[in-house]
């Protein structure tokens, strides 16, 4: 027998007189109870000196026993029907039968059992493959059965490629744009309540390697010069992560035996070659592959001309964190396409070096004033800078250094010069003579 605790939901069926006759009725006057799976419920059928042969009947008409998960207990107020842990199979009509005086009386209530919404077995992260069909799985359970609504990146899925099924959202011919967050929303309605639950699913689309930049597939020429160092770069997007292989004369390039350096990063591989003699020039093949496919390109490394350094630059204006640098123009035949500005802090009493300087790269402005703004400097700090020009073959030697100090106020120094807004445009080259890996 279990104790009748205060947290149980209870109703008492009492005897009342109506028109001089005794009858059984529910108090409070409710003919229906709604409970969730695993909750408890106690309903008491009222007793009196003239009541006898009282019993509870199940929805199948069987008399409910005095033992078990669902049982009856006699208490001071009558015969209690006790559900210790409600199961889905308990739903239905329950009847209290009794003889009151010389008459048979009965009263009943309906138990509705709700199983809350669950997404049991639904993976939070799922992987689809590009160009295949995929079912975004969402297993929704509940009683009453929930209605399911889908959102894809916070919008309803549109178009014939998407179809909602009982087990998930079917996507036909998956594309890379289909990756993102999917929301499986389940709505459950009963006669007296409503519930909404959402399951977020992160869909990742696996695909074979693709060139990161569309134009990269056409970049088959690279330039280097004798005594310089050249970087040949392959950059792709791929999932799973790609593996890179470099070949020369159909042989895999082994850094230990080919006087080369391989720098492998996520989605990118750089083959760094010192150009000791003209035998370094020629064809190189980059291969990127994963379990879904393979991509390759031939890069022709040609002999170029090392650019000449520009003439001494000038710092024409400074701010708290910036310096405006004017670089003298070079002849058109030098084919200069950009500049690298290196800079180091100067500290009193300590000789600065150029072993590991900071630098910023700039694209050359055709027809512009050739002024470039170095940013992210420290306020009121002395610096030295130097400049190298860049052509298709790589970087020149650096100029002599120029010293300056940033400002300690919000205003620029006395020279107020108009300069280009197109500063700090990053350079992307297949061939680099001086790289950040030095």
The CATH number given to whatever domain includes residue 385 is 2.60.40.10
Domain check: are 320 and 401 in the same one? yes
Per-residue tokens: 219 = 């970049």
- Single out the residue in 303, 322, 343 at which a domain terminates: 303
pLDDT score at 75:
85
Per the CB < 8 A criterion, the answer to whether 112 and 152 are in contact is no
Domain check: are 76 and 105 in the same one? yes
Q: What is the DSSP letter of 100?
A: E
Residues lower than pLDDT 70 in the chain: 1-29, 214-219, 410-438
Domain check: are 220 and 296 in the same one? yes
pLDDT score at 258:
73
Q: Is 415 within a domain? A: no
Distance (Å, rounded) from C-alpha 259 to C-alpha 274?
Answer: 7
Q: Which residues pair with 234 in a beta bridge?
A: 269
C-alpha closest to that of 335 among 361, 362, 304: 304
> Looking at the 3D structure of the chain, how many domains does it have?
4
Q: Is 426 within a domain? A: no
What is the three-class DSSP state of 247? Answer: strand
pLDDT score at 291:
97
Q: Is 99 within a domain? A: yes
Domain check: are 343 and 362 in the same one? yes
Domain check: are 110 and 123 in the same one? no
Q: Is 4 within a domain? A: no
- Single out the residue in 207, 240, 266 at which a domain terminates: 207
Q: Is 340 within a domain? A: yes
pTM: 0.66
Q: Is 425 within a domain? A: no
- Single out the residue in 266, 284, 303 at which a domain terminates: 303
Domain check: are 197 and 245 in the same one? no
Residue-wise pLDDT for 181-203, tens only, equals 999 999 999 877 889 999 999 99
Ordered DSSP codes for 368-405 = S--EEEE-SPPTT-EEEEEEEEEETTEE-PPPPPEEEE
Q: Is 308 within a domain? A: no
Domain check: are 320 and 396 in the same one? yes
Entry field: residues in the chain: 438
Domain check: are 36 and 49 in the same one? yes
C-alpha closest to that of 437 among 216, 228, 229: 229
CA-CA-CA-CA dihedral for 204, 207, 213, 219, to nearest 10: 160
Domain range enclosing 238: 212-303
Domain check: are 202 and 218 in the same one? no
What is the three-class DSSP state of 218? Answer: helix
User: Which residues contact residue 192 at a Cβ distance below 8 angstroms, ignoring those fewer than 6 apart?
Assistant: 32, 34
Domain check: are 50 and 87 in the same one? yes
> How many other C-beta atoms are found inside a 10 Å radius of the C-beta of residue 322?
17
What backbone phi and psi angles, to 5 degrees, belong to 278?
-75, -10
User: Which residues contact residue 347 at a Cβ distance below 8 angstroms, ignoring those fewer than 6 apart?
Assistant: none
Domain check: are 286 and 353 in the same one? no
In the block, residue with structure tokens 């073959």? 393
Domain check: are 45 and 93 in the same one? yes
Per the CB < 8 A criterion, the answer to whether 309 and 388 are in contact is yes
Q: Is 131 within a domain? A: yes
Per the CB < 8 A criterion, the answer to whether 395 and 434 are in contact is yes
């Amino acid at each position: 027998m279990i104790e009748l605790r205060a947290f149980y939901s209870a109703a008492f069926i009492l005897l009342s007189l109506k028109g001089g006759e005794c009858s059984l009725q529910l108090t409070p006057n409710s003919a229906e109870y709604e409970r969730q799976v695993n909750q408890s419920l106690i309903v008491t059928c009222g007793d009196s000196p003239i009541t006898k042969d009282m019993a509870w009947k199940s929805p199948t008409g069987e008399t409910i026993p005095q033992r078990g998960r669902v049982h009856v207990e006699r208490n001071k107020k009558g015969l209690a029907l006790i559900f210790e842990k409600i199961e889905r199979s308990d739903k239905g009509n329950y009847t209290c039968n009794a003889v009151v005086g010389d008459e048979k009386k009965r009263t009943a209530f309906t138990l509705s059992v709700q199983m809350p919404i669950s997404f049991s077995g639904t993976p939070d992260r799922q992987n689809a493959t590009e160009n295949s069909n995929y079912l975004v799985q969402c297993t929704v359970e509940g009683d009453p059965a929930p209605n399911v609504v889908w959102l894809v990146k916070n919008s309803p899925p549109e178009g014939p490629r998407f179809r909602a099924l009982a087990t998930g959202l079917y996507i036909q011919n998956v594309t890379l744009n289909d990756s993102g967050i999917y929301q499986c929303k389940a709505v459950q309605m009963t006669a007296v309540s409503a519930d909404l639950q959402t399951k977020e699913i992160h869909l990742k689309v696996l695909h074979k390697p693709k060139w990161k930049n569309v134009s990269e597939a056409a970049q088959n020429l690279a330039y280097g010069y004798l005594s310089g160092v050249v970087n040949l770069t392959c950059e792709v997007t791929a999932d799973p992560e790609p593996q890179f292989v470099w070949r020369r004369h159909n042989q895999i390039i082994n850094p230990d035996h080919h006087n080369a350096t391989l720098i492998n990063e996520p989605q990118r591989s750089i083959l760094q070659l010192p150009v000791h003699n003209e035998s370094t020039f020629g064809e190189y093949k980059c291969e990127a592959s994963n379990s879904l496919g393979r991509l390759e390109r031939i890069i022709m490394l040609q002999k170029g001309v090392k650019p000449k350094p520009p003439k001494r630059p000038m710092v024409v204006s400074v701010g708290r964190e910036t310096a405006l640098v004017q670089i003298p123009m070079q002849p058109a035949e030098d084919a200069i396409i950009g500049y690298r500005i290196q800079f180091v802090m100067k500290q009193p009493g300590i000789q600065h070096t150029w072993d590991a300087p900071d630098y910023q790269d700039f694209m050359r402005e055709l027809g512009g004033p050739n002024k470039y703004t170095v940013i992210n400097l420290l306020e009121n700090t002395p610096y030295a800078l130097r400049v190298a020009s860049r052509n298709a073959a790589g970087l020149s030697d650096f100029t002599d250094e120029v010293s300056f100090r940033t400002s300690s106020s919000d205003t620029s120094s006395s020279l107020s010069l108009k300069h280009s807004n197109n500063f700090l445009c990053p350079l992307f080259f297949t061939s680099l003579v001086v790289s950040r890996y030095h």
